[in-house]
Structure formats: C-alpha cells, structure tokens
Amino acid sequence: MRNFLTTLRRNYFREVSRLVKPFNGQFIFLTHILEDRPELLDALSNIAPISAIIAVPYSIHQPTLDKLKQEFTVIVPTLEQLYEEQYLKNLLDKYLSTSTPTVILEIGGYFAKVLRNFNSLLENKLIGIIEDTESGHREYENIIKKLRYPVISIARSQLKINEDFLVGASCLYSVEKLFRRAGFLLDSKTALVLGFGKVGRGLAHALAKRHYHVMVYDIQPSRRINALSEGFQVPNRKTALQKADIIYGTTGVCSITQKDFITLKNGAVLISCGSKDTEFDLRGLQKQFVKHDVFEHLHRYKRGKKTLYLAAQGAPINFIDGATIGPVLSLTHAEIILAVKEIIALYNSGKHGLFETPQKTKDLLAAKWLKHFLEPNYGSYRHT
C-alpha cells in the first residue's frame, strides 16, 4: 500500500510540476524529513536545483534522511539553532548564491526573524518565501510592514483544511499509542483542547469519538461559541486548566505560560499538537520544576507535591509516529509546487507582502488530485 501511494504522489507531483516553467534559480527548503518528502523534492528539482535542505530536528525519519543525503546537501541543526537569528543568517550567507535567484520554502516561519531586518545583501538574490504552517503565517504576518519580498502562505488555504483536520486524529493516535506502551490508562480522562481552529476542531471531534470528556477553550469568543454549538463544554480558562487531566495545545503559539503551571491539576499531561515546540513555556516549566525521565517521549516534572507530565518534550506529538502522511497531504505539497510559479510572478511585478495562491490554482490542483487519488466508481480513495 505504501509503495502504491508513493507512485500516486510521484505521478501527481510530476504533472503539477510541469505547470511551472523551470527557472534559472534554486531552492532552499526547511522541512520535516518524512517518508513522503522524496516525491516532493523530486518534483521541485524538475523546476530548479535544491541547494540545501534544512531538517526540522524533531521530525526526522532516519531512512529517509539517509536516502536524501545521497542526493542533496542536508543540514540537521538543533532546535536551538533554528531559533538563532545568526545561525540562519550564516546559512543564507552560505547557500544564497551571489548570482542565483533563490526561493525559500519553509515550515514554521523560522526565517522571518532574519528577514524582518531587511539586508541589502539579500537584494537580487531572494525571490521570495513559501510558508506552509499557521505558526509560520503568523510570524510573517507580524513583520508584514517590514517585508521586502513576496511571501506566499499555504497555511490558511482551502486545500490545507483537509490536512489540518486530520492532524487531530494523528495526534490522538500517537498519544494513545505512547501511553499504552508506557502503561498509563487514559480511560475516563478529561481532555482540554486549547484552540478551536482547524487542528483543534479536528482533535476535539476525534477525542469525542473515543468517548473522552472534552472541554475546549479558545481566546476568540466566536470560536468558543462554535465549539459549544458542536457539543463541547467551554468553561472559562482557569476552570478548564484546573479540571483537565490532559491538555492539548493546538494554537501555534504559547497556550500555557509559566504562571499557568501551578494552576494545572496535579498529574496533568501536556501535549502539543501545534506545528512547533511553542505551545508551552518550556523554559518556565524547567525553571519551576525538576525534570525526570519516565519513558521514551514522556517526562515527569516535579515541584514539591506537584507533578506534571510532558510528552515529546513539547514538540508536536504526532511526529513521533511520522505525522500525518496520506493522500490528502499531497494537496498541500502540490500547492507548494505551484506556488513557485506565483512567487516568481509576484517578484517580477515588484510586489511584496503576504499572499495566498489564487482560487483558480486551488481548484486546478483539487481537480488533478481527484483524477489521481479517487476511485471514480466508488467515490473513495484509490487503493490499487
């Protein structure tokens, strides 16, 4: 089945990449190193060379990494390095050629901290950036007045909604698998979902289907009303934090601050389903509590009689099992490929700021996806 999906992805991406004219430039790609990445990289390589792949360190499938290292320059930084502006500047200095226009493809908005201070040395080298995540979208949104390049965000695309909804189910799968192996029982636990956006909504419904008692909190009152209308309890934030046995952060920003840790229920478990390790104030947690190993991907934090648990060291938990890989994710990757065409057009017209791909692009990609992945006689995923 896996080989079959690989073939479908490869054929779909190659057809999409033919819509983008090869250009005399290069890509720098900051990405997760997962099993589905080679097909995407193959398609992008048909458009322009990839000068460097920068791996997100908490999401690496080792066999895939070993394979990619045979074909590409792959850098594997620490998570701390990815947050260092100078480290990223040094990477750009090394891999941004003086004569080769470059498109940066990234996941998480890490390069926003570099680009907020416009550097004339980047002029005529950088065409633009294509960003894939909600947290990255917000990073670029925060510096939109300082942007001197076009940035295309896929994060809020209609096509990505399908992927984001499935992230919740993949997070719950990883949680239940981890705790089952560690000998913890999650039956009858009260779960709190922080954030009722695309990921949070999918997670809340996945939890409800597994018969958890589910509470939801979102800073936006309208989203709390949405959650209430869909059958979830929406107590005030303090009450929710005090009652929850398991807290899922899905906001893409810091949803649990240092002052919140003392408020949490004794024995509460913190789990990130965001796109980065930013859901919880990890420095504040380590400052207040003493860390102890419990099990692989699970740590206990103690302060006096207070005990908290943190899964996957605060990184998105679904990546310990390869994240969300399947036919639907190919839509997002295809939009990244076609966004290259859009970013070049924006650059050539002298535009800068934050953009999305046009609706006609999304419709075209969806139609081609249905041709490749749908079994037309049954209306379900193609299996053979």
**Domains of the chain by residue range:** 2-160+325-381, 166-321
pLDDT beyond 80 at 100: yes
Task: Determine the pLDDT at residue 120.
Answer: 53
Strand (E) or helix (H) holding 270:
strand 269-272
Do the Cβ atoms of 212 and 190 come closer than 8 Å? yes
pTM of the complete model: 0.85
Side chain identity, residue 212 = Y
Using alpha carbons only, what angle is made at residue 328 by residues 323 and 334, rounded to the nearest 5 degrees?
A: 100
Pick the residue with more confidence: 274 or 14? Answer: 14
Q: Mean pLDDT lowest for which of 100-104, 166-170, 348-352?
A: 166-170
Q: How many CB atoms lie within 10 A of CB 333?
A: 24
**In the numeric block, which tokens belong to residue 181?**
């192996």
Q: For residue 192, what are the contacts with CB-CB under 8 A and spacing of at least 6?
A: 214, 215, 216, 217, 240, 241, 243, 244, 246, 247, 248
Task: Determine the pLDDT at residue 187.
Answer: 76
Helix (H, G, I), strand (E, B) or coil at 299: strand
One fold for both 2-160+325-381 and 166-321?
yes
Out of 118-132, 241-255, 308-322, the most confident range is: 241-255
Task: Give the integer Cα–Cα distance in Å for 361 and 124.
Answer: 27
Task: Determine the pLDDT at residue 208.
Answer: 94
**Helices (H), ranges, the chain:** 2-17, 37-45, 62-69, 79-82, 85-95, 112-115, 134-142, 160-182, 198-209, 221-229, 237-243, 282-288, 329-348, 359-373
Pick the residue with more confidence: 188 or 171? Answer: 171
Fold exhibited by the domain 2-160+325-381: Rossmann fold (3.40.50)
CATH code: domain 166-321 is 3.40.50.720
pLDDT beyond 70 at 325: no
